[in-house]
């Protein structure tokens, strides 16, 4: 079974990550969800990340706000792919979180999604795992077809709405 971990820096981040958890579940990805902080509980983060590959994890997602070093610290302790999710913070609308997550030194990348982009982090996780798991590849293709069908419906509906104005 595909195995991932989703870390968040604070319980206050969880509300913005429910969609992420739902998408991961929809692809059958067994996800360990943890609250741990690069600053408040650095040893917990370091120990998990250092042992993640040996413990069967394949991708790690990490969400944090403000001085959002969580994904970067995890990436420094593992060679697994790390997906960073900048959480929208109260003072700079998440620009602080985005820059803290994405501006990594050469050699230690964090694949960073948009501010509040938890759902896309889960889709990216599924895409990475699809290399190994054909069932995830199948579900991704199905999801793309469903999205295209939705857009085709919207296309027709908006054209009709415009015609009647
Ligand atoms: C970050 O600080 C967390 O990821 C959170 O987004 C932010 C604020 O945390 P709390 O003060 O709400 O616990 O480390």
Indicate whether 120 pLDDT > 90.
Answer: yes
pLDDT in tens, 125-148: 999 999 999 999 999 999 999 999
Pocket of ligand 1 contains residue 116 by CB under 6 Å: no
| Residue 101: partners with Cβ closer than 8 Å, 6 or more residues away | 64, 68, 71, 72, 84, 85, 86, 110, 112
> For the chain, which residues make up each domain, given as ranges?
3-132, 134-165
The residue whose CA is least distant from atom 2 of ligand 1 is: 65
Distance of CA 85 from the midpoint of ligand 1 (Å): 13
Share of the chain above pLDDT 70, in %: 100
The pLDDT value recorded for residue 95 is 97
Please state the pTM of the whole predicted model: 0.96
Indicate whether 90 pLDDT > 90.
Answer: no
Distance of CA 65 from the midpoint of ligand 1 (Å): 6
Indicate whether 91 pLDDT > 90.
Answer: no
DSSP type of residue 67: S
Indicate whether 163 pLDDT > 90.
Answer: yes
Distance CA(43)–CA(37), nearest Å, equals 9
Radius of gyration over every alpha carbon of the chain, rounded to an integer in angstroms: 18
Indicate whether 16 pLDDT > 90.
Answer: yes
Q: What is the dihedral of CA 11, 18, 110, 31, to 10 degrees?
A: 90
Which is the closest atom of ligand 1 to the Cα of 38?
14
Contact 5, 121 (CB under 8 A): no
Contact 90, 66 (CB under 8 A): no
CATH class (in words) of the domain with range 3-132: alpha beta
Distance of CA 164 from the midpoint of ligand 1 (Å): 49
Burial category of 68 from C-beta neighbours within 10 Å (exposed 0-12, middle 13-18, buried 19 and up): buried
Question: What would the mean pLDDT of 41-45 be, rounded to a whole number?
Answer: 98
Rounded mean pLDDT of the chain? 98
Question: What would the mean pLDDT of 118-125 be, rounded to a whole number?
Answer: 98
Question: What would the mean pLDDT of 36-63 be, rounded to a whole number?
Answer: 98
């Amino acid at each position: 079974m595909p195995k991932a971990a989703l870390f968040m820096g604070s319980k206050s981040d969880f509300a913005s990550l429910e969609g992420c958890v739902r998408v991961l579940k929809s692809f059958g990805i067994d996800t360990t969800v943890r609250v741990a902080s690069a600053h408040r509980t650095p040893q917990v983060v370091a120990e998990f990340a250092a042992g993640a590959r040996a413990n069967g994890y394949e991708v790690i997602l990490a969400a944090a706000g403000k001085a959002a070093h969580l994904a970067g610290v995890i990436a420094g302790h593992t060679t697994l792919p790390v997906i960073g999710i900048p959480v929208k913070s109260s003072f700079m609308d998440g620009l602080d979180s985005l820059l803290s997550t994405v501006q990594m030194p050469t050699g230690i990348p964090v694949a960073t999604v948009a501010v509040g982009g938890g759902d896309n982090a889960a889709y990216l996780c599924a895409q990475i795992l699809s290399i190994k798991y054909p069932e995830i590849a199948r579900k991704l293709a199905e999801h793309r077809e469903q999205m295209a069908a939705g857009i085709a419906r919207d296309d027709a509906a908006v054209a009709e709405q415009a015609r009647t104005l």
